[in-house]
Every structure is written in structure tokens, then in C-alpha cells.
Structure 1
Amino acid sequence: MLIAQLSDPHIRAEGELYQGVVDSNRMFAEALAHVHALDRRPDLLVLTGDLVDEGRAEEYEMARTLLAASRIPFLVIPGNHDRRESFRAAFSDHAYLPKAGPLHWCVDDHAVRIIGLDSCPAGKHHGHIDAEGLAWLARVLAKDTVKPTLLMLHHPPFTSGIPYMDAYRCMEAQQLEDVVRGAPNVELVLCGHVHRTMLRRWGGTVVCSCPSTTTEIALQLRPDAPPQSHVGPRGCMLHLWDERHGMVSHVSHIGDFAGPYAFA
């Protein structure tokens, strides 16, 4: 099974630029085209939050317009720039999304079980899973401790070292880690939020964050570093599950590059 991951497109209303600088809508359309042009079409597309920039209805209308081009079934979780009820309304045709409360869900229709966690407290930018969400996750994980499972949440549950991102990290992540550590079949935890690829051993598994389809958060590790971003490099993640070899993840850069050449 091949799973493509796109994250943090920050879609805007028609004619509006993200941060007044970049055409995030065009960039997301290009990212979708990139995924569809791969030499093996993914079986599933997952979107790990911040689908839109301000949570406005017209932004979600644009998101659905752009996603109408996808010939790959897709699953969604919210990010801190999404608004839960507007998000729920925009994807009301996605039956796996709960009709009320946090947008936690489980889809078990594929070779890999997919679990989505809503890590976004209303009106806040940091991440948090409350006690009810942790209990829900523990129950879902306990139902099957064998089938390969992929867990998604928007906020990476660790400290990245980039100070202006860590201010909005997933808070009190130890409780979440304790729950995940009890599930030996969680192959991978997928996140967005940081607009970069990061990897960390965590909870007995591996956490992987996905680059944004728009901008890249600058890699600055000084504690007094000011917030900065770059336009590019953009990318997506590809997660390949094989019964014999397990899960392998690849970064796929979006854009035109020299080649291919006849060597490897």
C-alpha cells in the first residue's frame, strides 16, 4: 500500500496570497498534480492539517474546489489554522468524521489502519490531546494490536529545537506517548505543522513530519532566533507499506529539476 501525505497548504480564498507573498492555492494544485504523476499512483492521500489559512468558509470552498481534482481517495485532519466546525461542515461528506466534538477518527478499510487525532484546542495554536481523547485513542488501539497502524496528528509530539515553533508544540505529550507505547503495531506517527521534514524515535515507534506545500520554516536553532520562512523547497511524503518489509517513508520534492540521467 502506498500512502501519499500532503500538509499545511494554507489555502486562501480565490485571488488571495498566503502571508501576502505566495500563491498557496497554485502550489497546492501543483502538489496534487505531482502526486498524481508519480510512477505508482498512491492508494490513499492523507492531509495532515492547516488545509486553510484562516478557517473562513470561502477558503474551505476553495479547498474543496482544488481537491476535486484528486482521483485518489483522501482523509483529512485539522490543524491549528483550521476551525473545527467550519472544517467539519466543509467535509460533511466524509462519513468517518464525527458529527460533534473533537475530530478523532479511525478508518480500517485498508491494509494499514489509519487513525486521525484532533490535536487542536479551539482558538489555540499549540497542540494538546485531552484526557477524553487519550482514553478514546487507547480504546481504539486496544481493539487490534496486530494490524499495522498509522497514527496522524497535526502537531509533532516533541520539541524540535526551533524556538518559534516549539512555542506552539504539542503540550503535555508524555501522556500521549504512554498510550502509543502500549501499541506495538503503530508503524508510524505522521504530523504536519512545522513545515519541515523531521524524524524522531518516540513512543516505541517513529514520528515523521511532512514539509508544507507552500513555505518552509527556516531551520534556526538559536534560542533567540526570529521567526523566518523560505519559499521552498516544497515536498510531500510517500509511505510505502509492504507485508514483508514493513513501512518505508520517502520525501518527494515538488518542482522541475535537471534529469533524469541514465545512472543511479
Structure 2
Amino acid sequence: MPSYPVNKISTPDEQINILQITDLHLSTPVAAHINGSGYNDAGNCQRSFETVLQQALSEDIRCDLIIVTGDLVNKVRLATYDHIFAVLQATNIPFVCIAGNHDVTDEDGEHLPFFQRSLVAQPADSRLLSRHRIEGDHWQLLLLDSSITGKVAGEVTTTDIDWLCDCLDACDKPALIALHHHIIPVDSDWIDTHMATNTESFWEHMAPFEHLQVIISGHTHQEQVRYRQGVTVYSTPSTCYQFKPYSHDFAYDESGLPGYRWLQLANNGKVASWVERLDT
């Protein structure tokens, strides 16, 4: 069984195939009798996470690494993380996990409208990574923790930026950055108020590094592709419920199925990426 966390990846064809899953929002315990009409209930979030993983890993593509980009849980409970890590370890595929806002913040009063809820700061599980580098044959993968305890929005700190600059200065391999919060607006006012802050400083400091190729994130519960400074920036659907794209007010995308993203990092620095949805 691969050790956690993985620090190096080497493959026979020197290509890295990455499965990105995000925004699992699991709760524990989940009673067997819980059912719901949509994916935004506790039982369905757990079932769809495991079904997404099963479907993705049954596809005709070798999976070299699973990256979980935050919001593993809906409320911070040790037993929930234990379950998620057990499921991921059972795949025998190297994986890494970073924190999202729900991994460091509990929302009290979930039956209330969002702005009437209380946000309670929680410590991050020790298995969630911060400023972690994975070296591949031709790529470097840089993982950030953009979460802020007690907050929904995130931040790319000056310390994060310094660390990224050090990594990119020291190694000229093509680079991928993974974090939870989005760093380019997705034209949805309510979620864009909760994106990462300090992003203009981030982009300014990243400008000299032409080998920064890809950024992946979660948080927005939707699929988008954006471009800035020659970098391709991917937003990825949740393994559970989706948010309605381009909606100024909070709204679920009732027709949006759970999803996941594949990234193929080729040995010549090229990238292919696409989203799959859960089979109905």
C-alpha cells in the first residue's frame, strides 16, 4: 500500500494521470435508512463519493494519483476522515488531500439561510497537507492549503507565495498547483465573494514562471476552464451536489450530476483534461 503522503511519482511512460475529486461533504455517522430526493443530503453524499471513485477507477485509464481538493467533510469529525482515508487507501493508488473551508469551519444552524448561520473555527485534521510538493519524472505538483479557520473564503498567503516561488525557482519542470478556493472569479456573485484573497499578488508573483502550466481547485461545485498568464485554471464539480453556474444568488444545479476531473500530464509538458459525470 502506498505511503501517505506521496512525495515522488514515477510511471513507465513518464506521464502522470491524475484523478481530481473535490467537495465530498461527507457526514458521519450516516444511517443506512437515510434517503433523499437529491444529492445534497448526508446519505447521498457518502454514496456518490464512493460511486464516483468506483466509476472513475473502472475506466480504461491508468490512475497514478488521486488529489482531493478540500471540503472532505460537512462537519469536522475524526470518524469521517477515518472513513474517507480508509476508502482511498483501499484503492492502493497514491493520494493526497488538502483542506477546504468545511475542513476548518463548522456551520451551525444549517436549517437557516446561509447568512444567518454561525461559523465555528475548527482545527484541521493532521492528514490534510499544506505546502506539499510531489516530484514526477517531468512535472512538479504543488499543493496549498487555502483555508482559513472560521471562514468560508480562503487566502493565498504571502508565505504560500514565497514557498511557491522557491519551488518554481529551484525546479524548471512544468508545474501544477492544487488548492481548494478558486483564484479567478467564476461569474457567480455569491461564491465569488468567498474565493481566495490576495490573488492579485499571487498572479503578479507567478508571472515570471512560464513553466507554471495548470491550476486546479474545488469550492465552486461546477465545471469551468479559465486562462490567465498562459496558465489553464480548472474548476471541478463536486462528487455530491452542484451549484448553478453563473447564478448571482445561491442556487443548486438540480440537473447537475456528481463529477470528477481527469488530468493527463504528458512527458513533453502538454496537458489534457476533461470532466466525467456519474452515470445515471
**Identical columns (%):** 25
Q: Which residue of 2 aligns with 1:232?
A: 256
Q: Which residue of 1 aligns with 2:52?
A: 31
Distance 1:109 1:219, change over 3 A: closer
The amino acid across from 2:235 in the alignment is S
The amino acid across from 1:10 in the alignment is H
For 2:194 and 2:19, the matched residues in 1 are separated by 26
- Two-structure CA RMSD over aligned residues (Å): 2.1
The amino acid across from 1:121 in the alignment is I
Distance apart, 1:245 and its partner CA: 6.8
Alignment of 1:107-146 (within 5 A): 107-145=134-172
For 1:198 and 1:229, the matched residues in 2 are separated by 14
The amino acid across from 1:170 in the alignment is A
Q: Which residue of 2 aligns with 1:151?
A: 177
Q: Secondary structure at the match of 1:190?
A: strand
Distance apart, 1:231 and its partner CA: 6.4
Contact preservation (8 Å) 2:30, 2:42: no
Which sits farther off after the overlay, 14-23 or 73-82?
Answer: 14-23
Contact preservation (8 Å) 1:137, 1:179: no
TM-score (norm 1): 0.84
For 2:226 and 2:52, the matched residues in 1 are separated by 25
TM-score (norm 2): 0.80
Distance apart, 1:204 and its partner CA: 2.8
Partner of residue 194 from structure 1, selected from 220, 227, 230 = 220
Q: Which residue of 1 aligns with 2:125?
A: 87
1:247 equivalent to 2:271? Answer yes
The amino acid across from 2:153 in the alignment is H
Distance apart, 1:69 and its partner CA: 2.7
Structure 1 regions of 5+ residues with no counterpart? Answer: 98-102, 257-264
Q: Deviations over 1:234-255 (max 9, x none)?
A: 2111111223471111112221
Which sits farther off after the overlay, 74-83 or 12-21?
Answer: 12-21
Partner of residue 49 from structure 1, selected from 52, 70, 81 = 70
Partner of residue 87 from structure 2, selected from 41, 66, 71 = 66
Distance 1:21 1:230, change over 3 A: farther
Alignment of 1:95-110 (within 5 A): 97=129, 103-110=130-137
Q: Secondary structure at the match of 1:216?
A: coil
Q: Deviations over 1:85-132 (max 9, x none)?
A: 4421xx28xxxx4xxxxx211111454211001111221110111212
